[in-house]
């Protein structure tokens, strides 16, 4: 194992920010009580929870009562979709309405749509171009074609970094009277928050602790809990919150937003260098995703004749933690649905995503070792020179 390691998989989750660690430790002493209790310790916890909720709501451009904390970004996505599609009792038809989503949405969104489809709902996915971007006009045509309960379009893709036309789609969906769910997990704390009717996010993506997701629902949106009634989190999330983790998440988000413009510009330049130099250094490499209108910290590339898992393993041995293929399906060895929808190589893929504070020297080291690693894997596979 290399002594010097570089963590380059921030799109899967950032290391815990130092300010979040401090807030977490302090909250274990001050925020351990149930905030729903009326005694002094409970009231203290309730005040802390209210402050955390207000802080996150301010970043999202929401009212505090529109924001609920979940156990993860995945849970937030499930609740957003199923609650947004749920029909009112006695309204006729199945239990769920129709969902229109891009073909490159997070697997949690698509899985929830599939579950709803089995109970009377419908799902239509809208394709993307080779850069991974949905056509806004085509998306809106799909919404208009049949009665639609909910539309879903991510702010930016978690695998290739391409930013989606959320502003245009939201405006058109509003004219149709259809709420838009925005999966903003990759952009909250890094980029401006786009317009939304429902929004989901994950604290671990901005340097907060794992185990905290965010579900935001506008007051004007009809949303019905897809589970038995529960008074916690505005009736949207069953059970209580882990208050110390929530406080740490809110603190980390404040810190991320404070230096987002400067840090995003710095990382954007480093990724631009990666995108430019990779094809020059490594033969038969395709860099995917939009080169300009993209997340500042993500670059994904495909190496012909190379197994992605083998490449990730070899880079790990040399001290680099990077992602491979889909962040959600790499462990199952299934091809990425995002890359397949884009029509690019679905094997031999590596995603490099830079955490806040990432050193450019780590990227330089990666560029130094990567050509030899790829050449060695191709030679062992008997495909060198093809």
- C-alpha to C-alpha distance for 323 and 158, rounded to whole angstroms: 11
The residue from 131, 215, 299, 328 that is catalytic is 328
Please give the class, per CATH, of domain 6-15+259-380. Answer: alpha beta
Check if the beta carbon of residue 181 is closer than 8 Å to that of residue 166.
Answer: no
Instruction: Please report the pLDDT score of residue 192 as a whole number.
Output: 96
Give the CA count within 13 Å in the CB-facing half-sphere of 43.
3
* pLDDT mean values, one per 10 residues, the chain (386 residues): 82 96 93 91 94 98 98 97 84 82 97 92 96 97 96 97 98 96 98 98 97 97 88 85 96 97 97 96 95 97 91 96 66 78 90 96 96 94 72
Separation between Cα atoms, residue 338 and residue 298, nearest integer Å: 15
Q: How much is the CA Rg of the chain, to the nearest whole Å?
A: 21
What DSSP string describes 170-208?
HHHHHHHT--EEEE-TTTTTTSPPPP-SEEEEEGGGGT-
| Contact partners, residue 9, CB within 8 Å, separation at least 6 | 321, 322, 323, 351, 352, 353
Q: What pLDDT is recorded for position 328?
A: 45
pLDDT of residue 333: 58
- CA-CA distance, 30 to 156, in Å (whole number)? 37
| pLDDT at residue 218, as a whole number | 98
Q: Is 328 a catalytic residue?
A: yes
Beta-carbon contacts of 288 under 8 Å, excluding residues fewer than 6 positions away, are 131, 132, 160, 300, 301, 302, 339, 342, 344
> Could you give the residue ranges of the DSSP H alpha helices within the chain?
18-30, 40-60, 73-85, 107-117, 136-145, 166-176, 243-258, 260-281, 308-317, 337-342, 360-380
Give per-residue pLDDT as tens, 250-277. Answer: 999 999 999 999 999 999 999 999 999 9
- Where do the structural domains in the chain lie, given as residue ranges? 6-15+259-380, 18-258
**pLDDT reported for residue 327:** 44
Number of helices (H), then strands (E), in the chain:
11, 12
Torsion of CA 227, 228, 231, 235, to 10 degrees: 30
C-alpha 11/C-alpha 14 separation (Å) is 7
Q: What is the pLDDT of residue 93?
A: 65
pLDDT at 3: 64
The reported pLDDT for the residue numbered 359 is: 95
Q: Which pLDDT does position 1 carry in this prediction?
A: 44
Which architecture, in CATH terms, is 18-258? 3-Layer(aba) Sandwich (3.40)
Strand partners, 286: 302
Which pLDDT score is estimated for 30? 87
């Amino acid at each position: 194992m290399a002594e010097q390691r570089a963590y380059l998989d921030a799109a899967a989750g950032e290391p815990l920010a130092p300010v979040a660690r401090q807030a977490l430790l302090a909250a274990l002493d001050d925020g351990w009580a149930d905030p729903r209790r009326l005694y002094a310790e409970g009231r203290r916890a309730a005040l802390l929870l209210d402050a955390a909720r207000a802080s996150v709501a301010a970043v999202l451009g929401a009212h505090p009562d529109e924001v609920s904390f979940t156990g993860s970004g995945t849970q937030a996505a499930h609740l957003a979709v199923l609650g947004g599609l749920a029909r009112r009792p006695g309204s006729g038809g199945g239990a769920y309405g129709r969902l229109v989503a891009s073909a490159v949405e997070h697997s949690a969104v698509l899985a929830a749509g599939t579950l709803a489809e089995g109970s009377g709902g419908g799902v239509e996915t809208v394709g993307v171009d080779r850069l991974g971007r949905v056509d806004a006009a085509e998306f809106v045509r799909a919404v208009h074609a049949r009665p639609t309960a909910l539309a879903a379009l991510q702010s930016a893709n978690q695998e290739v970094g391409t930013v989606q036309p959320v502003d245009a789609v939201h405006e058109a969906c509003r004219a149709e009277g259809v709420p838009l769910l925005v999966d903003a997990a990759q952009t909250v704390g890094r980029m401006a928050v786009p317009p939304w009717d429902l929004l989901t996010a994950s604290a671990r993506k901005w340097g907060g602790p794992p185990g905290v997701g965010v579900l935001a629902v506008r007051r004007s949106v009809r949303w019905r809990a897809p589970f038995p009634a529960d008074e916690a989190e505005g009736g949207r999330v069953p059970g209580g919150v882990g208050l110390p983790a929530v406080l740490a998440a809110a603190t980390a988000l404040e810190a991320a937003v404070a230096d987002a413009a400067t840090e995003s510009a710095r990382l954007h330049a480093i990724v631009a260098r990666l995108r430019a130099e990779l094809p020059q250094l490594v033969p038969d490499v395709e860099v995917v995703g939009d080169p300009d209108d993209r997340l500042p910290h993500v670059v994904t590339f495909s190496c012909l004749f190379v197994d992605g898992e083998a490449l990730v393993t070899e880079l790990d041995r040399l001290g680099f933690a990077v992602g491979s293929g889909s962040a959600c399906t790499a462990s199952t060895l299934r091809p990425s649905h995002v890359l397949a929808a884009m029509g690019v190589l679905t094997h031999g893929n590596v995603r490099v995503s830079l955490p806040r504070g990432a050193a450019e020297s780590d990227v330089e080291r990666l560029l130094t070792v990567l050509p030899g690693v790829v050449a060695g894997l191709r030679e062992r596979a008997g495909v060198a020179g093809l």
